Structure 1
Amino acid sequence: MPETSARVGIVVRTKDRPMFLERALADIRRQTMHAWRAVVVNDGGDAAAVDRVVQGLPEPDRARTAVIHRTEGLGRSAAANAGVLALQTEFVVLHDDDDLWDPTFLEASVAWLDREPADAGVVSRTEIVYERVEGGRIVETGREPFWGEMTRITYADMLQVNRFVPIAYMYRRQLHDEVGLYREDVHAAEDWEFNLRVLRLHTIGYASDRVRAYWMQRRGQEGVLGNSMFVLADEHDLYDRMIRDEALRSYVAANGDGLPLYLARFVQDEVERQLAAQRSLGRYATEAARKGWRRLRGR
């Protein structure tokens, strides 16, 4: 299929995980919508292993799958940007090498964005799939909903914590022209920071009708086969705090420190009040139980 017919650009970030890369490319090939182009970004891993996987694709799919080899690993954000910059498609989605889609993901996401032109992107309902690697095989061990109670994507909710993962999110490529690329100085939580920039200006839709994205997790798996969510847990916390501190300092520079000073003390006092109330309730319950026990013994 010629590139001019591709509406969706798929960025596949990978490094030294040919088993997952092969599964990810097979997942893309199973999509019911075929108007896509993929860019595999090898972030400093074994180039020969990546080339073997891509060369193993059927010719039509191999022709629309490009590969970018980076001689050194520059991180998740830089890899995402390299893929985005190589694409000129209408829509973009990040398909990391270890995650998966329902076969209708592309078709349903494009249909949503065609139907809802005001939405900057659309998130699909997501399921967490637990798995482990055993003797060269990937074995599923369980599933659970990811934010199963969620009904929409809001900026207010995203201020608390990221409500969706890259595999579930298709967005309009022009957003990068408007709000910029992924921040390359943020090596974890880069998607959350980008999402916040988008949500300040636009709405993001939520396709809740069925699960179409699968966030694969391997708890306890260390090294190259681990999930960034766990392997980079400390970095996620570091960059979460950094992003919040930058935003706070920016707010104070423009508005003064009155409101943050007030809220910092208010939150501290409210937490202490609630803890004290819980301790009082606990003492009351304990004393009531003791009195009841004394009455029973006195009979």
Structure 2
Amino acid sequence: MSHRVGVIVRTKDRPYFLARALGDIAAQSFPDAEVVVVNDRGDREQVAATVAASPIADRVRIVDVSEPGGRCFAANTGIRATGAPYVVLHDDDDLWHPDFLARTVEYLDAHPNDGGVMVPTDIVYEKQHGGVWKEVSRAPFWAGMTSVTFLALLQINRAVPISFLYRREIHDEIGMYDESLEAVEDWDLYLRISERFAIGFLEGDALAFWTQRPSGRGADGNSMFELSSAHRRDDILVRDRALRSWSASNGPGLPLYIAYLHEQLRAEFTSELEARLDRQREQIVAEIYDRHPLWRRLRRIRSVFARSRRG
């Protein structure tokens, strides 16, 4: 039986989170979705037992990754395994509002020229209590965002996979997740998509929840924290690669000029900041001399001493 949505769940030796994710998908008000669980070199029997115990076991397929490939390889494996026209990555530790699929499928059906649709997202912070990860607080991810544009994504990543339903056929034109990247692979994909297709955005309440566990380590950790150095490295790699591609076609003139302007502005800003700090320092010292009782007393003693010497 074919389904309209393919939900890709990447997991490795995290039965607690996998069970929670499958329960989250089962709670969706839109049921026409198959689930591809990509077991990224984890315990196969453990994954199979978790799937069998889920309320949607009849809609779940397990695909095993047996060789090292990383997060992108696991994502691509899952995407290739589904024939659904719409796809979304639901990593095992993230969550949805029950109407996420219903709302996003409805949008893509009504906007055939859009490549995908994103939704408002909350960051949900969790702590472990008695073996269970529970929410302790939450905050909007990019509060006030009303649209997703190529221009905005050039600055910084503004979405996470749990918040993005898109057309599977896009991969035929732009390629798959870049398996040379250890991190920021989602941002790299969004850049390639938004360069060629419009991406819709559903304003309103959060429909996706990106969980973060700052205290989590090992299997309980987040890529946001566990791969922080890789995020910084691969962010630069993506930008540098794009710049080199542009320069190869257009020459280095404009990048060189922008780099020159950047250095000039940095030098001017540094100089102005140092001058302002010097002026503020002088003002603070003057106010201390003028207002502090100890300094006023010292000035009076100095004045009396000076008069006595003259006398």
Equivalence for 1:12: 9
Contact 2:9 / 2:92 at 8 angstroms: preserved in 1? yes
Task: Give how far 1:209 is off.
Answer: 1.2
Please tell me whether residue 25 in structure 1 is matched to residue 22 in structure 2: yes
- Once residues 149 and 250 of structure 1 are traced to their aligned partners in structure 2, the CA distance between those partners, rounded to angstroms, is 33
Output one character per residue of 1:222-244: Cα deviation in whole Å (capped at 9) or x when no partner.
21110011101111122111111
| Distance (whole Å) between structure 1 residues aligned to residue 248 and residue 256 of structure 2 | 13
Aligned match of 1:51: 48
Q: Secondary structure at the match of 1:210?
A: coil
| Equivalent in the alignment of 2:238 | 243
AA partner of residue 47 (structure 2): V
Gap runs ≥5 in structure 2 = 301-311
TM-score by length of 1: 0.94
Name the structure 1 match of 2:182: 187
- For residues 251 and 93 of structure 1, what CA distance do their matches in structure 2 show? 30
Contact 2:19 2:54 in 1 (8 A): no
The correspondence of residues 44-193 of structure 1 with structure 2, limited to 5 A, is 44-58=41-55, 61-193=56-188
Give the distance between the partners of 1:117 and 1:281, measured in 2 at CA: 55
Q: Which amino acid aligns with 1:7?
A: R
Q: Tell me, yes or no, if the aligned pair for 2:14 and 2:219 is still in contact at 8 Å.
A: yes
Q: Secondary structure at the match of 2:225?
A: helix
CA shift, 1:89, in A, is: 0.9
1:222 corresponds to 2:217: yes
Partner of 2:258: 263
Two-structure CA RMSD over aligned residues (Å): 1.5
Contact 2:72-2:178 at 8 Å conserved across structures: yes
Which letter maps to 1:74?
G
CA gap of 1:21–1:73, structure 2 versus 1, over 3 A, is farther
Q: Which moved more, 1:246-255 or 1:133-142?
A: 133-142
Q: For 2:203, which of 199, 208, 224 is the aligned residue?
A: 208
Conservation of the 8 A alpha-carbon contact between 1:31 and 1:103: yes
Post-superposition shift, 1:104? Answer: 0.3
Bigger Cα Rg: 2
Deviation at 1:72, TM superposition (A): 3.2
Does structure 2 retain, via aligned residues, the 8 Å contact 1:75–1:187?
yes
Q: Percent identity?
A: 43
Partner SS state of residue 230, structure 2: helix
For residues 150-187 of structure 1, the C-alpha deviation after alignment (integer angstroms, 9 at most, x for no partner) is 12111111112110000000001111111111111112
Structure 1, 19-28 or 232-241: larger mean CA deviation: 232-241
Q: Specify the SS of the correspondent of 1:209.
A: coil
Q: Distance in 2 between matches of 1:24 and 1:80?
A: 16
**AA in 2 matched with 1:166:** P
Contact 2:4 2:32 in 1 (8 A): yes
Deviations 1:82-128 (A, max 9, x none): 11011111100000000000000000001111222222111110000
SS in 1 for 2:206: strand
The aligned amino acid for 2:11 is T
Q: TM-score, normalised by structure 2?
A: 0.91
1:202 to partner: Cα distance: 1.0
Q: Which runs of 4+ in 1 moved over 4 A?
A: none
Q: Which amino acid aligns with 2:72?
A: S
Asked if 2 retains the 8 angstrom alpha-carbon contact of 1:21 and 1:53, the reply is yes
Q: Does 1:253 align with 2:248?
A: yes
Q: How many residues align?
A: 294
Gaps of 5+ in 1: none
Deviations 1:191-248 (A, max 9, x none): 1111111111111111121110000000032211100111011111221111111111
The answer to whether the 8 Å contact 1:193/1:243 transfers is yes
- SS of 1:72's partner is coil
**What code does the residue aligned with 1:153 have?**
V
1:41 corresponds to which of 38, 42, 62: 38
